[in-house]
Chains A and B, each alone.
Chain A
Amino acid sequence: MSFEAIVFYSLAALVLLSAVGVVTHRNTVHSSLLLGLSLAGVAGIFASLGADFLFAGQVLIYVSGIAVLIMFVVMLLGRASDLHLRQVNNQWLAALLICCISAVGLWRIASSFRGLPSPGPAKPSTALLGRLMMGDYAVPFELISLVLLAALLGAIFFSHTEKDA
């Protein structure tokens, strides 16, 4: 087994096992910690695909931003009694059926790409990505900052409390 295969399979096992933990764990605090682990594994997958800037962005935004934010909210809203309540609704059998049917379709799509060989080691892509963002993708790049501003204002609006209410 080559070094590349060992890296891929260990990262894939990390991502999938911690993702299963996220959706099945009864304690939401543990589930949010496992979410951070799963997102870090996805960052490793990006690194193995040669996407170095995506790796950095994933670690900076997902692992240290979103996962920590979710952890804060879990700890803010959690109660000790939650540990004794059922965390799964009674439709799980139907959900499992939907997942099995989708798995067949996804497997057919994935197996149609089986013969494609790896194009060899990837080059660093950060400089190219920066040139693309300032060139062809300049308009989406500016629009995304508008979206972030809207999200910021929306978060302030929704979490704002009136003093007299």
Chain B
Amino acid sequence: MIVFDRATVVYPDQTVAVDQLSLTVPAGQVTVFVGPSGCGKTTSLRMINKMIVPTSGRVLIDGVDVAKQDAASLRRGIGYVIQQAGLFPLRSVVDNVATVPLLLGVGRRRARADSMALLERVGLDPSLARRYPNQLSGGQQQRVGVARALAADPPILLMDEPFSAVDPIVRQQLQDDLLRLQADLGKTIVFVTHDIDEALRIGDQVAVMRTGGHLAQLASPADLLSDPADEFVAEFVGRDRGYRALGFVSGEVVTRPETTITLGSSGEAARRVAHGADWLLVLDADRRPVGWVRPDRLGAKVNASDLNRSGTLAHDGAPLRALLDAALSSPSGRGVVVDAAGALLGTVNAGDVVAVIERERSA
């Protein structure tokens, strides 16, 4: 557990970077510091590993004041991932990962073996291990950065805008992988970002900070969307709050059975089962939905080129946002729900989902 106790940072030119920050970072959870540039989020992060010492107030890790600890040994016990990864260009990927274990005196052979295992764990091909960082893509470098931070198995992981320099698709993969990793590892993670969507996605709790180093609100993502503390937070969290809040609500939605046809069947068979319906759901051989077709426009066979693929899929038990989106994006208005293997369970329409939303709200 990390505790900020009225931690304040004033620069020599009297600029206040962080003003009386008091908050608790619970062990084993992800706490995100988010805010516009100049809000002191990175400064706050760096107080945890003593890269910045508070002008007044304290930062405590498990009850011990950080300021009283030796900086180098403190830092070796705290993983750190920075923007641009900050890998050492002169060391191979595997030796980059082994950096802290080697500093701690672990033998080279063991440190390398452990690092190879970690590389796989963060989703990197072991064949990249002998390469140098400048031979990797930005996303790969960032994964190496995460592996390097985890190498000494520190209980705390600090991440300073780790994914902001990669493109949106890679960023989302990295976020997913981090969440999966965290589900296994249960580290105490402090994550800094200026991207509120990333904060809401990654965080168990989110600390919204405003310029001048003030904590504007500390809340769970759902509470931040449904109950912003003031105008600044509401503004910063952004539009579509009601819809986005559904991303954090689950509810029991009963699916309806759906008439289907298998890809490659004859057009005649499709028209027969459709019974005049406008849209017919098409499955592959493993009963996984692949798209919708209009039976009256089919030729001799149900071909892949006939498919309308606009509908998103919702997994069983997904947040209401995913279910509602599945219904709204489907050409038939019926959202497709699948099981963990991706096989069809049934469909829901928007009215079904809204009814559940209403029920959850009055509950």
Tell me whether A and B are bound partners.
Answer: no
Chain A residues at the B interface, C-beta cutoff of 8 Å: none
